[in-house]
Amino acid sequence: MTDTPTVTDDLLRDLHRRRVRIRLFEEAAGRLAEEAKLPGFLHLYVGQEAVAAGTCAALTDDDQIVSTHRGHGHLVAKGGDLNRMMAELMGKATGYCNGKGGSMHISDPELGMLGANGIVGAGVPIAVGAAFADKYRGDGNVSVAFFGDGSTNIGAFHEAANMAAALELPLVLMCENNEYAEYTPRHTTMKVADVIERAAAYGIPGAVVDGMDAVAVYEAAAIAVERARAGDGPSMVEAKTYRYYNHHGIQDLGQSYRTDEEVLEWKARAAIAALEARMAESGVLDAAGARAVWDEVGEAIAAAIEFAEESPYPDPSTMLDDVYTEKEVAR
């Protein structure tokens, strides 16, 4: 597949809703963290919503994704249950992982979300394993590895990329290049102008897109997904994006590793508002319709918070449950 995928009105509305769901979920999570209602670290996805929305819109329900420590947006975009997500962030028994995984290890295998990962770059080999299984079974499914620019400095990325290319696995490498590996500017750790150049070393084709534009991400992801599904091997997409907040928490300005001017410049792009303007201009969704989406999603987020707050914490007696499999192994 080399032609640009068709962008329908329904797709635009879908991309918009996915982005709004991510934005409002993350902003609510940030407020709860400030109120000390969420245990542990919180790595927010605010600003990068277009990448998850555009990528997941190109996938089927059976396709799989592997996430990062900044993974809430990926699960939301894949259709994650907001109640179970919020409960997991609060460490409640009704959460996706029974309150034991928390923010950085949230997962939903039934949705094809194989898990967030607290180790930088560690999700890429997992996605390669899933893609290997897809090819072995011949089920036609595709696996997507989300990772940041800093992950391409990790050996696991290079081993995984080489294996995926050599075995022609149905894999999409989705690099969310937000220009910082935690607090380290990208230009201080690599000489390549674009991260995508690293994929070329393994014979993996790819594209660089505006990661603030969900339509551009969708188009590139759809081409890569179709190529993988057709048996032509892995592709890589580098989405140039930006996280509005600090590496963790909800502080945005006053950071020593990036300037306030830079943050404000990226925020001024108002990427979701730009999509709404595009839809309004083409008659797809007017301002009232867009506001209705925000209000509807806001109500769902409020309900999720109420559900999580009213849910119980895990019983201490279940501490070791789910650690080891209880399935009998044939000898």
Residue 157 has pLDDT above 50, yes or no: yes
Q: Please tell me the distance from the alpha carbon of residue 312 to that of residue 219, in angstroms, as a whole number.
A: 43
Q: Is 208 inside a domain boundary?
A: yes
Q: Give the mean pLDDT of 263-278.
A: 91
Residue 131 has pLDDT above 80, yes or no: yes
Euclidean distance between the first and the last CA atom of the chain, given in angstroms as a whole number: 46
Q: What is the CATH number of the domain that holds 120?
A: 3.40.50.970
Q: In which band, very low, low, confident or very high, does the pLDDT at 44 lie, cut at 50, 70 and 90?
A: very high
Q: Which two tokens stand for residue 174?
A: 């989705």
Q: Flag the least confident range among 13-17, 46-50, 190-194.
A: 190-194
How crowded is residue 295: how many other Cβ atoms within 10 Å of its Cβ? 11
Q: Please tell me the distance from the alpha carbon of residue 109 to that of residue 65, in angstroms, as a whole number.
A: 9
With DSSP H G I counted as helix, E B as strand and the rest as coil, what are the percentages for the chain, rounded to 5? 45, 10, 45
Question: What does the pLDDT read at residue 331?
Answer: 62
Question: What does the pLDDT read at residue 2?
Answer: 60
Q: Which two tokens stand for residue 158?
A: 């290079």
Q: Is 151 inside a domain boundary?
A: yes
Question: What does the pLDDT read at residue 325?
Answer: 75
When divided into structural domains, the chain yields a total of 1
SS3 call for 240: strand
Residue 1 has pLDDT above 70, yes or no: no
Q: Is 2 inside a domain boundary?
A: no
pTM listed for this prediction: 0.93
Q: Give the mean pLDDT of 273-297.
A: 96
Q: Give the mean pLDDT of 56-69.
A: 96
Q: Is 298 inside a domain boundary?
A: yes
| Mean pLDDT for the chain overall | 93
Q: Is 324 inside a domain boundary?
A: no
Q: Which two tokens stand for residue 287?
A: 């301002």
Q: Please tell me the distance from the alpha carbon of residue 112 to that of residue 105, in angstroms, as a whole number.
A: 14
Q: Give the mean pLDDT of 205-221.
A: 97
Q: Is 328 inside a domain boundary?
A: no
Q: Which stretch of DSSP H or E encloses residue 180? A: strand 180-181
Q: Is 10 exposed, middle or buried (0-12, 13-18, 19+ CB in 10 A)?
A: exposed
Q: Is 266 inside a domain boundary?
A: yes
Q: Is 185 exposed, middle or buried (0-12, 13-18, 19+ CB in 10 A)?
A: exposed
Which range of residues forms the domain containing residue 258?
A: 9-318
Question: What does the pLDDT read at residue 181?
Answer: 86
Q: Is 256 inside a domain boundary?
A: yes
